[in-house]
Amino acid sequence: MKAILWTIQAVCLLGLVGLSGCASTTPAPAASTRLGTSQDQATIQALQKRLQGRERTIAMQNYQIEVLSSQLDALKRIDQDTRVQRRPVSNLMNVRH
């Protein structure tokens, strides 16, 4: 049981590391300083579209991180509960008042 919990924790941790690597960005192309031409407007729209896509990706990754963190916390509680349940009953009987 302990090995399974460690394995699950390791998988969750690797998942978090993998998700953090997905957020790397490439530099945006340099925009012209003059605005108003149709090409400039098209560039602005394309950049805005890329930005919105990245914001959606980041929001999804944040959600996945929250889910994995919640699962990890649940596994930690399960591990603690199983450790408490494994305590020998004889130790409880040896306690003198």
Neighbours of 19 (CB within 10 A): 15
**23 closest CA partner among 67, 53, 43, 47:** 53
pTM above 0.85, yes or no: no
Q: What average pLDDT score do residues 80-97 get?
A: 74
Q: What average pLDDT score do residues 18-34 get?
A: 59
Q: What average pLDDT score do residues 2-8 get?
A: 67
Q: What is the pLDDT of residue 36?
A: 66
* Distance of alpha carbon 96 from alpha carbon 30, whole angstroms: 78
pLDDT-derived band at 2 (thresholds 50, 70, 90) equals low
**Percent of the chain with pLDDT strictly greater than 70:** 60
pLDDT-derived band at 35 (thresholds 50, 70, 90) equals low
